[in-house]
Amino acid sequence: MDSLPSLRTLNNVNVWRERNDEDGEPLSPVARLFHQPGSNVYIVAIMGSKIKLQPDVIKPILIHALLKHPRFSSLQVEDKHSGELKWIPTEVDIENHVIVPELDPNMDGADKFVEDYLSNLSKTNIPNSKPLWDIHLLNVKTSEAEALIIYRIHHSIGDGMSLMALILAHSRQVSDPSLLPTLPVMNKKPNLLNLKGFRFVYILWNTLVAIFVFVLTAFFLKDTQTPLKGPAGVELKPRRFIRRTLNLQDFKLVKNALHCTINDVVLGVTQAGLSRYLNRRYGELQKYNGVTGQEKEKNYLPNNIRLRATFFFNLRASTKINAAGVICHNIFFNTTLWFSNVPGPQEEVSLYGHQMAFPACSCYGQPNALMIHVISYTDKITFVLSVDEDTIPDPYSLCDDLEESLKLIKAAAVPS
C-alpha cells in the first residue's frame, strides 16, 4: 500500500491467551474454502460517522467488542500432523490492527481519496502472523459523512450477516441509547409440507431444476461471456468500491403496488439496471456500424444471454476440502456476479458512541468482476458495487442505470 499516507497506530494494548496448538479448534469447511486458491476473500465494511472519530474512545470498546471473540484473537495455523487449519489463541496487540492515517480532515476530493484508499486495501492481504482483520479510522469529511470506520476482515472469520450482527450488537439507537437496533422482520414462509396441489409441485419442480443447474455449473455450464464477466485470474485484481444510495420509500411504493416483497423489487431493479448497462455497452461495440442518435434506445442485447448471481450455504460436513474448493471456484467463476442483500437498522444508530451516517459492505478477492451488495438503513437503501475496472471501466454508469431503473419501475407501477 505504497500510495497510502503514513500511518500511526494507537497506544499499545495487549490481550493475552494461553496458546496450545493441540487444543485448537479446526476451521469449518466453509472457512477453509476461503483459503483455497482463487477464493482468498476479504469482507470490507464501511461505516460512515456523522461526527469526527475519537480513537481513544473507540479503542477500549474494540477490546471489549472484538478481542473477546475467539476468532478475532486467534491465528489460523496449519496442524503439523493433519495439515488442517486450526484456530490457535494468541496474544493480540491492538496496535497492529487499528490504523489511523494522519489526514487533512477538509481535503479536496475526499470522496475520491476514500475510493482510492479502499482500492489500495484490495491490493493487499493481511499476513497470517496475526489474526486476519484490521480496522482503519479515517477522519476525513466526505459528501455523506464526517469520518469513516473501515473494517477489513478475512471471510474465513465469518460471513457478512454474522459480522454485521457482531458490529450492530455494539451499536445503540440514537433516540434511546439503552436499546439495540431493530432489523426488518421477514414474513414467515409456509412450510413446504403444508403446501398442497399445484403450488407444492411448482416449488418442488423449481427446486429440482435449480439443483440440476447448480450441478451443471459446478462442472461446465458457464454464463454468457458479456462485458460484465471477468477473465480468469480476476480475483487477483484490485477493486473499485462504488456506492449509490436510493430512497427506501420508492421501493415500498413499488412493493405495495405489485403485492410483492422489498427483495423482489431490489432484484427487479438490479436485473433492469444490468440490462440497461449491457445494452449500452453492446451498443457502443456497434457504434461504428452507422448507429444514429435516434437509435440509442434500440435493443442491442444478444438473444439468450445467461447471466446469474451466486451465493452459498455451509451444508458440507466432510473435512476434506480441496475438491470442494475447486468446485466452488468453478461455480463462482462460471457465474457472472456475486449478489448479497442484507437488511440494516430501521432507525439511526450510534456505533462506539459515534452516530452512523450510513453502512456499506462489500468484498474483494472473489473470482468475479462484479459484486453487488444491497443494504438498508433507516429510510435509505444503498447499492454497493465491487468492480474490476479493467472489465467494468465505468461503474458510475452502472449505478446510474440502477437508479434510472428504479425510477422507470416506479413510474410504471405507481402512475402519478
Question: Computed from CA positions of residues 254, 258, 262, 264, in that sequence, does the dihedral angle turn out positive or negative?
Answer: negative
Among residues 285, 1, 219, which one has the least CA distance to residue 119? 1
- E strand segments, 234-308: 240-247
Is 69 a known active-site residue? Answer: no
Type of residue at 377:
Y
Among residues 94, 67, 73, 90, which one has the least CA distance to residue 9? 94
Answer for the pair 372, 243: CB distance below 8 angstroms, yes or no.
Answer: no
Describe the strand order of the beta sheet including 133-138 as a list of residue ranges.
7-9, 98-101, 133-138, 147-154, 42-49, 354-364, 349-351, 171-173
Question: Computed from CA positions of residues 9, 11, 12, 17, in that sequence, does the dihedral angle turn out positive or negative?
Answer: negative
Distance linking the first and last C-alpha atoms of the chain: 51
b/e code 382-402 from CB counts within 10 Å (16+ = b) = bbbbbbbeebbeebeebbebb
Written as nine digits, the cell of 340 is 448479497
How many other C-beta atoms are found inside a 10 Å radius of the C-beta of residue 302? Answer: 10
Looking up cell 496448538 gives 21
Between the CA atoms of 323, 327, 333 and 334, what dihedral angle is there, to the nearest 10 degrees? 150
Among residues 119, 95, 126, 118, which one has the least CA distance to residue 7? 95
d(CA 168, CA 181) in angstroms, rounded, equals 7
**Coil vs helix vs strand at 267:** helix
Active-site residue (options: 35, 97, 154, 155): 155
Tell me which residues are annotated as active site. 155
